[in-house]
């Protein structure tokens, strides 16, 4: 037996390795199994080059737990190592790798580092009291060796009688790491890190990996079913995806993968962090934040790239030119795919819009390159549902009727077709097109697109009376004289706490409602932002009273009678009821005011004493 010291002058690094980032201890399995995979792949390469002759048999990898001996063994049938190679690769190269790693990251507690940067072979000491390597090289006449190290810098090497080619790494699991002798724990780790490694891996007589996952195959060789099956393999409990994109580039960087569009419900229950990042089929992470543009994180699937630097910290990753290119490549691919789907089967694209819309709009807000392409396929759904407009189509439909004073096209929208029903109906009567912008991203979408689309003004359908919103030359003559209009205006006054009302009398169409309550667009948006937790100006406006404009339609026939009414109390009751009806349609009548309205209405219907009905204090 030969003994040696891994390196004379160095301090003992094993205690440091052992303590290093406890939570990530499980990555040792990834490192050791990847080494076993590498050794098997090398053997196959050598065979194909003719350097290894004859039948190499299978190169399956086996993981074994021996509870009595408290060992975990990773066993491969790869190239193996000669004694010189053990000295070179384990005692020198791997050791200096581990040492360098610790040099770099000692004391830093950046939890993601170790997960991205393998400590390689020496990570085994995080969980072991002692590690053994029993290995026999593929080289003819080579003798098997057994290397052993107990966590001190001293190691020993001796000859061994292992007969078959390959390597067994035997970990004598330490007491704190007893969890790694539990089969369930190991299975779980193997499924996480090794699920798609390219060499068959067995644990407890069952193969745990799929060596040829869909993303490594050619799209032409895959059916719809294959893509869907692979999705199920990744996310066993998810609904089938809407569609997918197969990524495949080799220049200027290497990247393969499949991205799936998940089905999403209206609410923002989308799960980010569903994309898994691999490097040559080795699982690296599901935190792809710095690699994939944020809006694309709503997608699911797999990205595999050996070119993404994994051995560095986050801040470096953000500045990495390859990473930037990867981000814009994926963005382009996704935009192209959406455009293709839209062009080739618009109907099915529209059917998926509920799921796609959130994603597309989020992308348009956050990524100008994407916006440019998405303008072609972003859709606006009609308030009644079922009909969709692209931006250009909306412009064409609205061109003749819906322009404001500056000549911009007014895009009328509703955030709640049920609550804003009376306004939608009124707009439709005038043949205006109202679209639904009711999802959680829409408020931000509106604010952003208004800046980006110079020829569009977004106006919620209840923001003002339609006559004010849209610059139509046909204004109705008022049937009231100036004095009558003044008199009418004086009859209206609203005293509701936290409600700031402005009253105006206008001559609208006699068919329009007698009083219309509208909520000015700007104030309402600010209020909404405050409610959704938007800081800054939002919280400033959040404390301001609600703004409402009451437009009294002087041309409505009802005012002829009201103006003539001699019983002042009755006159006031009528005016109050009309006001309350308008406020009610905006959901602004609540509590005490609502009760008073109900009581007043009942009494008026009963034809009760025509006295003023007073709001309770």
Site of interaction with ligand ADP (CB under 6 A): 31, 35-36, 39, 76, 78-81, 89-90, 93-94, 97, 120-121, 167
> Which is closer to Mg ion, CB of 37 or CB of 494?
37
Partner from Mg ion, ligand ADP, none binding residue 78, C-beta < 5-8 Å depending on class: ligand ADP
Question: Which residue in the shown chain puts its C-beta closest to ligand ADP?
Answer: 120
The nearest distance, CB 39 to ligand ADP, in angstroms, is 3
> Which is closer to ligand ADP, CB of 98 or CB of 517?
98
What's the rounded Cα separation, in Å, for the pair 6 and 326? Answer: 41
What are the tokens at 596? 């008073």
Write the burial class of residue 407 (CB in 10 Å: 0-12 exposed, 13-18 middle, 19+ buried). exposed
Q: Are strands 275-279 and 300-304 parallel, antiparallel or unpaired?
A: parallel
The nearest distance, CB 156 to ligand ADP, in angstroms, is 18
| SS3 category, 584 | helix
The nearest distance, CB 174 to ligand ADP, in angstroms, is 20
Q: Are strands 499-506 and 154-159 parallel, antiparallel or unpaired?
A: unpaired
| SS3 category, 148 | strand
| SS3 category, 519 | coil
What are the tokens at 156? 């020993």
The nearest distance, CB 119 to ligand ADP, in angstroms, is 7
> Which is closer to ligand ADP, CB of 199 or CB of 364?
199
> Which is closer to ligand ADP, CB of 131 or CB of 298?
131
Write the burial class of residue 499 (CB in 10 Å: 0-12 exposed, 13-18 middle, 19+ buried). middle
The nearest distance, CB 93 to ligand ADP, in angstroms, is 6
> Which is closer to ligand ADP, CB of 89 or CB of 253?
89
Going from the C-alpha of 446 to that of each of 338, 392, 449, 452, 530, the distances in angstroms are: 21, 16, 5, 10, 16
| SS3 category, 161 | coil
The nearest distance, CB 154 to ligand ADP, in angstroms, is 19
Q: Of 270, 254, 252, nearest to 262 (Cα)?
A: 270
The nearest distance, CB 275 to ligand ADP, in angstroms, is 25
> Which is closer to ligand ADP, CB of 100 or CB of 384?
100
What are the tokens at 196? 């798609």
Partner from Mg ion, ligand ADP, none binding residue 94, C-beta < 5-8 Å depending on class: ligand ADP
What's the rounded Cα separation, in Å, for the pair 511 and 252? Answer: 66
| CB contact at 8 A, 81 and 135 | yes
Instruction: Report angle CA 358, 369, 243 to the nearest 5 degrees.
Output: 45
Residues engaged in binding Mg ion (CB under 5 A): 35, 120
Partner from Mg ion, ligand ADP, none binding residue 36, C-beta < 5-8 Å depending on class: ligand ADP
The nearest distance, CB 32 to Mg ion, in angstroms, is 8
Report DSSP state, residue 91: I
């Amino acid at each position: 037996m030969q003994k040696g010291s891994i390196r004379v002058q160095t301090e003992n690094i094993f205690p440091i390795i052992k303590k290093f980032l406890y939570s990530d201890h499980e990555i040792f399995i990834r490192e050791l199994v990847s080494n076993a995979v590498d050794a098997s792949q090398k053997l196959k390469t050598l065979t194909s080059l003719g350097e290894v002759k004859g039948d190499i048999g299978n190169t399956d990898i086996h993981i074994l737990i021996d509870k009595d001996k408290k060992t975990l063994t990773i066993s491969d049938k790869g190239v193996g190592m000669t004694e010189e190679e053990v000295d070179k690769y384990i005692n020198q190269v791997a050791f200096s790798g581990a040492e360098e790693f610790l040099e770099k990251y000692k004391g830093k507690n950046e939890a993601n580092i170790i997960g991205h940067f393998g400590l390689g072979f020496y990570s085994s000491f995080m969980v072991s009291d002692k590690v053994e390597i029993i290995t026999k090289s593929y080289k003819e006449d080579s003798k098997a060796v057994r290397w052993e190290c107990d966590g001190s810098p001293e190691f020993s090497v001796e000859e061994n009688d292992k007969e078959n080619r390959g390597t067994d790494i035997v970990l004598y699991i330490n007491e704190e790491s007893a969890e790694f002798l539990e089969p369930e724990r190991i299975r779980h780790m193997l499924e996480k890190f090794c699920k798609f490694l390219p060499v068959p891996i067995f644990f407890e007589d069952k193969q745990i990996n799929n060596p040829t996952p869909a993303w490594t195959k050619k799209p032409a060789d895959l059916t719809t079913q294959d893509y869907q099956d692979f999705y199920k393999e990744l996310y066993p409990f998810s609904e089938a995806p809407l569609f997918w994109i197969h990524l495949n580039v080799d220049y200027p960087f290497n990247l393969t993968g499949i991205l799936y569009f998940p089905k999403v419900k209206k609410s923002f229950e989308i799960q980010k962090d569903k994309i898994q990042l691999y490097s040559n089929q080795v699982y690296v992470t599901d935190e792809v934040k710095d690699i994939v543009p944020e809006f694309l994180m709503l997608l699911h699937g797999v990205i595999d790239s050996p070119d993404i630097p994994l051995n560095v910290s986050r801040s470096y990753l953000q500045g990495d030119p390859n990473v930037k290119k990867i981000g814009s490549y994926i963005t382009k691919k996704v935009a192209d795919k959406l455009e293709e789907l839209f062009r080739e089967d618009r109907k099915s694209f529209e059917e998926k819009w509920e799921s796609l819309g959130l994603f597309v709009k989020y992308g348009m807000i956050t990524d100008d390159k994407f916006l440019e392409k998405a303008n072609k396929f972003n859709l606006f759904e009609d308030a009644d549902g079922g009909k969709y407009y692209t931006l250009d189509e909306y412009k064409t439909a609205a061109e003749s009727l819906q322009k404001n004073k500056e000549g911009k096209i007014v895009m009328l929208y509703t955030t709640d077709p049920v609550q804003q029903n009376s306004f939608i109906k009124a707009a439709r009567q005038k043949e205006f097109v109202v679209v639904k912008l009711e999802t959680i991203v829409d408020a931000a979408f509106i604010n952003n697109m208004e800046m980006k689309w110079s020829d569009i003004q977004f106006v919620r359908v209840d923001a003002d009376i339609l006559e004010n919103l849209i610059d139509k030359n046909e204004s109705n003559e008022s049937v009231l004289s100036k004095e009558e209009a003044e008199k009418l205006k004086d009859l209206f006054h609203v005293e509701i706490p936290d409600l700031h009302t402005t009253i105006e009398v206008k001559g609208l169409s006699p068919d329009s409602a007698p009083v219309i309550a509208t909520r000015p667009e700007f104030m309402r948006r600010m209020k909404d932002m405050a409610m959704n937790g938007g800081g800054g100006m939002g919280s400033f406006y959040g404390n301001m009273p609600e703004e409402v404009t009451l437009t009294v339609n002087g041309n409505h026939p009802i005012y002829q009678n009201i103006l003539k009414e001699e019983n002042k109390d009755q006159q006031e009751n009528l005016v109050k009821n009309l006001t309350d009806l308008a406020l009610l349609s905006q959901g602004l009548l609540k509590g005490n005011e609502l009760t008073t309205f109900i009581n007043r209405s009942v009494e008026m219907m009963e034809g009760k004493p025509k006295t003023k009905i007073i709001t309770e204090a």
